[in-house]
Structures are given as structure tokens and as C-alpha cells.
Amino acid sequence: MRAHLAPGGVLVVDGWIRPEAWWPAVNVSAHANTSEHTAAARVVRTWREGNHSHLDMRYLSADGEGFSEASEHHVLSLFTREEYLAAFASAGLQPEILQGPMGPDRDRYIAVAP
């Protein structure tokens, strides 16, 4: 990402959940909504293996034409704040760290290219 910055360019990285903040064991959640002609639901199952988080998501929607289904599986690495800072340092950047917009367990890193 650093290679794409012009001098004075800004890099913003919203970090994923820090390893120490990952929820214990396996978690499941569901969200659904209905409008006048459409209903949609998302069911998520998440778990951790080492320093990788798994998000297995299933989607279902229905309207007057019928049903639609989709699924996704994401594997996201869990990095410590120190690992993020080391990556920025290796790119010659010194980020400011703010709380990310998704909550206190996710940092936002903002750096300006020299």
C-alpha cells in the first residue's frame, strides 16, 4: 500500500479484531429484515484457529420471484498492535492509532507518506 502513496499521501487501515479480544469458542449470530416485498437474513458462524479467524456466512432472501441463496467463508489473520506497527515501520511509515469505527477492539491506523 505504501508504494501507491505520493509524498503527503494518507494511508488509513482499519485493523481486524486484536487477538486478545477475540471471542471465546464458536459464536453464532443471525440478522433478518423484511420490507414490503422482500425478506432477507444472514446467519454467521465464527471461530478461531491459532491466529486466524473464520467467518462462515449464509444469506437467504425472498421476494415475489422466489428465493436466492449465497454463502461466503472468510479467513482473517489476527494481528497484534505491535505487528501492525512493525508492518508500518517496515514501509517507512509512523501511524497514529485511533479507535476504529467498529468498536474498541479494532484499531484504525493513519499514516502520512514522507
The whole-number average pLDDT for the span 103-109 is 93
The mean pLDDT value for 86-95 works out to 96
Both 29 and 72 in one domain: the answer is yes
Which residue segment(s) compose the domain that 31 sits in?
A: 23-77
Based on the fold, state whether residues 12 and 30 are members of the same structural domain. Answer: no
Buried b (16+ CB within 10 A) or exposed e, 28-60: eeeeeeeeeeeeeebeeebebeeeebeebeeee
Task: Let me know whether 63 and 32 are in one domain.
Answer: yes
Answer yes or no: is pLDDT of 87 > 90.
Answer: yes
In terms of domains, do 13 and 27 share one?
no
pTM exceeding 0.85: no
CATH number of the domain bearing residue 40? 2.20.130.10
Mean pLDDT, residues 12-30: 92
> Do both 55 and 101 map to the same domain?
no
Structurally, how many domains does the chain consist of? Answer: 2
Query: In this structure, are 55 and 83 located in the same domain?
Result: no
Q: Which helix (H) or strand (E) holds 30?
A: strand 27-34
Mean pLDDT across the chain: 95
pLDDT at 25: 82
- Shared domain for 63 and 43, answered yes or no, is yes
Residues making up the chain, counted from first to last: 114
> 108 and 90: one domain?
yes
Taking 90 as the threshold, does the pLDDT of residue 53 lie above it? yes
Shared-domain flag, residues 71 and 84: no
Same domain, 27 and 73: yes
